[in-house]
Amino acid sequence: MLCGVCHKNEATIHFKGIFNGQVFKMDMCEECAIKKGVEEKKSITCGSCGITYADFKSKGRLGCANCYTSFAPFLNQLIEHIHGSGKHIETRPFDNPTGTETLKQKLHALTQELKLCISREEYEKAAEIRDKIKYVKRQVQKYKRGMVKTT
C-alpha cells in the first residue's frame, strides 16, 4: 500500500481516527509521518511471554499469567468497560450456605424422605416435606434464571 501523503513510498504506519464526527483512516510512510509529527506508539510487551498488548487486542487472549501484571492499567479499564465494575462480586445459588449441598441433591433427599413418610403413614410430616420440595423447586427455577449476589 502506498503512502497516502507522498504516494511514492510504501506505507508502514497505519492509524484510524475520528475528526469532526467522521472516521478517517491514514496510511503513511515513515518519512511523511516524521514530517507530519506523527509518532508510532510503541506497544507494551509482556516480559515473560513476549506478547504485545496489540496482539492481545487482536487475538483476545493473553499469553501467560504475567500478562495480567504487564497490561494491568489497560485490563482494568477494559474489565470496567465490559462488566461495569472492576470489583468481583461473589455469586452463589439460593439457600446453599455450605457450598457443598446442591439444590438437586437436597430435592432428591426430600423426595426420598417424603416417600418414607408416606409409607409410614406420617401424613402431617409428609405435608411439611411436600411444602419444602415446592420451595426447593422454586429455588431451582430461580437458580436457572440467574444467581443471587452475596457479599
Mean pLDDT by 10 residues, the chain (151 residues): 89 76 82 77 80 84 88 80 68 47 81 92 92 85 59 36
Same domain for 95 and 142, yes or no, is: yes
- Confidence at residue 98, expressed as pLDDT on a 0 to 100 scale: 43
Q: How far apart are CA 86 and CA 8, in angstroms?
A: 47
In this structure, are 107 and 143 located in the same domain?
yes
Domain end, chosen from 83, 105, 138, is at 83
Cα–Cα distances in angstroms (integers) from residue 108 to residues 90, 123, 147, in the given order: 27, 19, 21
In a domain, 46, yes or no: no
Looking at the fold, whether 77 and 96 belong to one and the same domain comes out as no
Specify the pLDDT at position 39: 64
Statement to judge: residues 140 and 96 lie in one domain: yes
The number of folded domains in the chain is: 3
Task: Please indicate, yes or no, if residue 47 is contained in any of the structural domains.
Answer: no
- Domain assignment present for 110: yes
**CA dihedral in degrees (104, 108, 114, 115; nearest 10)?**
150
Q: What is the pTM of this model?
A: 0.36
Residue range of the domain that includes 21: 1-41
Res 25: pLDDT: 83
pLDDT at 129: 92
Q: Are 58 and 78 contained in the same domain?
A: yes
69: nearest Cα among 55, 51, 81: 51
On whether residue 64 sits in a domain, the answer given is yes
* 107 in any annotated domain: yes
> Does a structural domain hold residue 48?
no
What is the chain's length? Answer: 151
Q: Is 129:108 a contact under the CB 8 Å cutoff?
A: no
Residue 129 lies in a domain: yes
